[in-house]
Amino acid sequence: MPFDPAEIRCDLACGIGQDGHWHGWFTVRVPADALRHLGLHPDQPTATITAPSPPGWWHAAAERGAR
């Protein structure tokens, strides 16, 4: 695992939703400094968009090709 277990905090919350059913969700928190060695910290240039997004047809063709 790329993180020290002491750096990760996982929380579980449960409750009754608007539909009357129980729902649960997780929250995972990692300190920003722990992301730096993976190139994911927002201050690093690799975390910013450097080129325009490919056109819509490109995404559709990639999804068709994945099937």
Per residue in 39-65, pLDDT (tens digit) is: 777 676 666 677 788 888 888 888 888
For 5, 13, 35, 46, 66, the CA distances from 50, given in Å and listed in that order, are 32, 37, 19, 8, 25
Per residue in 26-42, pLDDT (tens digit) is: 999 988 888 877 777 76
3-class secondary-structure state, position 67: coil
Determine the pLDDT at residue 23. Answer: 93
Domain ranges of the chain: 5-66
Q: How far, in Å, CA of 34 to CA of 41, rounded?
A: 8
Residue in 64, 46, 62 with CA at minimum distance from that of residue 54: 62
Determine the pLDDT at residue 47. Answer: 61
